[in-house]
């Protein structure tokens, strides 16, 4: 059965899932492969793209999705995660959870008898990474040899990109202020993947070094959900890492701009970049649904 809690869970099947996503998007699979299947969607954090893409995705695959906020579940009143997992497993065919703590998702999957899919945790965002890679392939036609640079906070999105890029033959750099580096554990695994696939991983506080020969410039908000108390300090620390036209000019001429959204124009990225001709953010957002449909198909089809 298995679950998708981290990119590491699909290390050997990343290309297959992305090829499946392309076929699903092109209408090349059976019409309703998840007919009569039900997905429980647990949200501890608010969401636009994750909620709508999973909900519509399940419907288009022939199944249905049930939205469950923390207030809708006894888990929000102290029921053990293990009990929630065992109960939901009796009712549904899969569980998607957008959680605060990664350990909670691990605990849920440990006690679930149905696949668990991470819709985001404080450590990783694997479904976002899949959508990003689908978008890059659509734009450039290949992954191998391309280079992506994540600019800003070494957060959950950055962590998942670090893991998935080398698996597809891509080089990756991270440009971030000191103290905001990606997870050391994730970085260690990513460098092992890079060595296996003859690619390169670089983390630097020197933007010029990180952006050398880059095909994809990627950023995210400076203040993620849960980090609001650090807002003022983060705005100071990240100011030199704003993605603007000057920064984009360091990348390759044909470089594209990506952002997982939501974005704060004028903070981590300027309006002329995110709304400019190099931006593919809305293709990227749409591909959340196609990539997740492939994940749902992969884990929930009989």
| Residue 225 annotated as binding site | yes
Of 258, 11, 263, 7, nearest in space to 127 by CA: 7
| Residue 213 annotated as binding site | no
| Residue 176 annotated as binding site | no
Distance in angstroms (rounded) separating the CA atoms of residues 296 and 62: 11
Cis peptide before 262 (omega within 30 of 0): yes
What letter would DSSP give residue 181?
P
Catalytic residue among 102, 125, 234, 290: 125
| Residue 231 annotated as binding site | no
Catalytic residue among 149, 158, 176, 260: 260
Query: Is 9 assigned a catalytic role?
Result: no
> Residue 285: enclosing H or E segment and its boundaries?
helix 281-300
Answer for the pair 252, 185: CB distance below 8 angstroms, yes or no: no
Catalytic residue among 128, 132, 234, 259: 128
Distance in angstroms (rounded) separating the CA atoms of residues 42 and 72: 9
Query: Is 234 assigned a catalytic role?
Result: no
Query: Is 125 assigned a catalytic role?
Result: yes
Catalytic residue among 98, 102, 234, 259: 98
Catalytic residue among 93, 215, 220, 290: 220
| Residue 47 annotated as binding site | yes
| Residue 219 annotated as binding site | no
| Residue 220 annotated as binding site | yes
In sequence order, the 6+-apart residues with CB closer than 8 A to the CB of 86 are 111, 112, 113
| Residue 98 annotated as binding site | yes
| Residue 260 annotated as binding site | yes
3-state secondary structure 91-151: HCCEEEEECCCHHHHHHHHHHCCCCEEEEECCCCCHHHHHHHHHHHHHHHCCCCCCEEEEE
The neighbour count for residue 267, using CB atoms within 10 Å, is 17
Distance in angstroms (rounded) separating the CA atoms of residues 176 and 3: 31
User: How distant, in Å, are the alpha carbons of 126, 214, 248 from that of 278?
Assistant: 24, 13, 9
Distance in angstroms (rounded) separating the CA atoms of residues 163 and 9: 11
Query: Is 260 assigned a catalytic role?
Result: yes
| Residue 48 annotated as binding site | yes
| Residue 64 annotated as binding site | no
Catalytic residue among 102, 234, 288, 290: 288
| Residue 246 annotated as binding site | no
Q: What is the rounded (10 degree) CA torsion for 191, 192, 196, 202?
A: 10
Residue positions forming the annotated binding site for carbamoyl phosphate: 47-50, 74, 98, 125-128, 260-261, 288
Residue positions annotated with a catalytic role: 98, 125, 128, 220, 260, 288
Could you list the residues known to form a binding site for L-ornithine, using ranges.
Answer: 156, 220, 224-225
Binding residues: 47-50, 74, 98, 125-128, 156, 220, 224-225, 260-261, 288
């Amino acid at each position: 059965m298995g679950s998708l809690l981290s990119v590491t869970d699909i290390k050997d099947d990343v290309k297959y899932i992305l090829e499946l996503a392309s076929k699903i998007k092109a209408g090349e699979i059976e019409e309703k492969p998840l007919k009569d299947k039900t997905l429980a969607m647990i949200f501890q954090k608010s969401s636009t793209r994750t909620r709508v893409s999973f909900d519509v995705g399940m419907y288009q695959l022939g199944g249905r999705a049930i939205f469950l906020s923390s207030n809708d579940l006894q888990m929000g009143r102290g029921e053990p995660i293990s009990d929630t997992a065992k109960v939901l497993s009796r009712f549904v065919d899969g569980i998607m959870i957008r959680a605060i703590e990664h350990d909670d998702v691990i605990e849920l999957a440990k006690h679930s008898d149905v696949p668990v899919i991470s819709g985001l945790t404080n450590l990783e965002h694997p479904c976002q990474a899949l959508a990003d890679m689908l978008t890059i392939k659509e734009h450039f036609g290949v992954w191998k040899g391309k280079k992506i640079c994540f600019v800003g906070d070494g957060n959950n999105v950055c962590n998942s990109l670090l893991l998935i890029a080398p698996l597809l033959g891509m080089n990756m750099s991270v440009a971030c202020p000191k103290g905001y580096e990606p997870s050391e554990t994730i970085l260690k695994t990513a460098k092992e993947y890079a060595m296996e696939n003859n690619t390169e991983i670089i983390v630097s506080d020197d933007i010029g070094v990180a952006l050398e020969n880059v095909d994809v410039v990627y950023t995210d908000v400076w203040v993620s959900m849960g980090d609001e108390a650090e807002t003022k300090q983060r705005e100071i620390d990240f100011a030199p890492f704003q993605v603007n036209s000057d920064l984009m000019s360091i990348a390759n001429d044909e470089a594209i701009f990506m952002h997982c959204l939501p974005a704060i124009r004028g903070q981590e990225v300027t309006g002329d970049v995110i709304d400019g001709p190099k931006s593919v953010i809305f293709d990227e957002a749409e591909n959340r649904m196609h990539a997740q449909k492939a994940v749902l198909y992969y884990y929930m089809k009989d």
